């Protein structure tokens, strides 16, 4: 995947405002307000305490801007780049009170999203030399869909569906409701526009054959063992994009990819990646 362009701040500004508001509450930063004169200038550095892939920096810096509109910012490690442990990610200069009040919100955004990007980067790294893409799922943190998908892209992964509305993904429940794979695909094709792709989840090779016959553009190979995956890839060649999913972990991802699947998708990139350790070193 190529490095993604920055998201328009309009997409995440509401979240950053809400995050600041839930930290400031009704009285603001009572500690800083008690000790720090209003006009005092301050300088601080966002620092990586551990090595990782940076994501969410733009959103994170917006937290400072929302509390001090004339804050001055120098980005050292932009979104999508790797920071070494101890490396300075960005320098901010502005009202000391704003820096301290925005600190935790900024770090929470940066740490969480860099955690997602770093987990993705590491998964991608395990597939070096293979053409297989690493994809996220819709198992994201509520309210953070756009930012977490973007973090996956910054980690070198591919976002998969952003929601229920941008592609068809026929699962077993849908097949049961339609009375068969072919009928489910037929209904989906008749229902959605010519720019919407159709993916079908299959558990067995028999289901795969049915899905391919029905014209699936992508097949989701769910919880298959490696041998079955290899055979599924063979049968799908030239007919559909193949995606492996289901309980794939860092240790097993390369073996899965070596079956030849086009995409490996992993829920834990977004729902369980640990936060990257980042800090704000204030030189108030």
Footprint (CB under 8 A) of a copy of itself, residues 71-90? none
In angstroms, the Cα distances linking 135 to 143, 162, 249, 262 are 19, 11, 13, 10
Cβ 176 vs Cβ 146: under 8 Å: no
* 53 scored as a contact of a copy of itself (CB under 8 A): no
Nearer to a copy of itself, 25 or 238 (CB): 25
Hey, which residues between 112 and 141 contact a copy of itself (CB under 8 A)? Answer: 112, 115, 133, 135, 138-141
- The beta-carbon contacts of 126-131 under 8 Å, at least 24 apart in sequence, are 126/250, 126/253, 126/254, 127/253, 127/254, 127/257, 127/264, 130/254, 130/257, 130/258, 131/262
Smallest separation (angstroms) from a copy of itself to the CB of 101: 6
> Out of 27, 70, 206, 227, which residue is the one contacting a copy of itself (CB under 8 A)?
27
Bridge partners, residue 241, by sequence: 218
Choosing from 17, 43, 104, 197, the catalytic residue is: 104
> Out of 26, 70, 225, 227, which residue is the one contacting a copy of itself (CB under 8 A)?
26
How far apart CA 67 and CA 4 sit, in angstroms, is: 28
Choosing from 82, 222, 231, 277, the catalytic residue is: 222
* 31 scored as a contact of a copy of itself (CB under 8 A): yes
User: Tokens 């309210």 — which residue?
Assistant: 143
How far apart CA 278 and CA 118 sit, in angstroms, is: 13
Residues shown for the chain: 284
Hey, which residues between 143 and 182 contact a copy of itself (CB under 8 A)? Answer: 143-146, 149-150, 158-171, 173-174, 176-178
* 96 scored as a contact of a copy of itself (CB under 8 A): yes
How far apart CA 41 and CA 96 sit, in angstroms, is: 5
* 18 scored as a contact of a copy of itself (CB under 8 A): yes
Nearer to a copy of itself, 91 or 171 (CB): 171
Smallest separation (angstroms) from a copy of itself to the CB of 34: 4
222 classed as catalytic: yes
User: Tokens 């362009």 — which residue?
Assistant: 5
139 classed as catalytic: yes
Hey, which residues between 259 and 278 contact a copy of itself (CB under 8 A)? Answer: 262-263, 267-268, 271-272, 274-275
Question: What are the residue numbers of the active site?
Answer: 104, 139, 171, 201, 222
């Amino acid at each position: 995947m190529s490095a993604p362009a920055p998201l328009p701040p309009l997409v995440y500004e509401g979240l950053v405002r809400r995050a600041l508001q839930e930290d400031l509450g009704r009285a603001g930063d009572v500690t800083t307000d008690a000790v720090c004169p209003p006009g005092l200038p301050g300088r601080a550095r966002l620092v990586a305490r551990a090595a990782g892939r940076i994501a969410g920096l733009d959103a994170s810096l917006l937290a400072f801007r929302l509390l001090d509109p004339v804050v001055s910012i120098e980005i050292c490690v932009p979104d999508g780049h790797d920071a070494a442990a101890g490396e300075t990610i960005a320098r901010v200069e502005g009202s000391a009170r704003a820096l301290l009040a925005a600190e935790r919100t900024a770090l929470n955004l940066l740490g969480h999203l860099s955690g997602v990007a770093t987990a993705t980067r590491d998964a991608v790294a395990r597939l070096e030399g293979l053409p297989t893409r690493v994809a996220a799922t819709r198992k994201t943190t509520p309210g953070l869909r756009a930012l977490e998908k973007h973090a996956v892209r910054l980690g070198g992964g591919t976002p998969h569906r952003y929601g229920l509305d941008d592609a068809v993904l026929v699962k077993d429940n849908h097949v049961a409701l339609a009375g068969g794979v072919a009928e489910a695909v037929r209904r989906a094709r008749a229902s959605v526009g010519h720019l919407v792709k159709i993916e079908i989840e299959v558990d067995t090779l028999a289901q795969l054959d049915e899905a391919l016959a029905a014209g699936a553009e992508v097949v989701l190979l769910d919880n298959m063992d490696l041998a079955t995956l290899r055979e599924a890839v063979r049968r799908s060649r030239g007919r559909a994009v193949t995606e492996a999913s289901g309980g794939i972990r860092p240790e097993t991802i390369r073996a899965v990819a070596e079956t030849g699947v086009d995409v490996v998708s992993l829920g834990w990139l977004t729902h369980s990646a640990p936060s990257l350790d980042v800090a704000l070193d204030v030189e108030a």
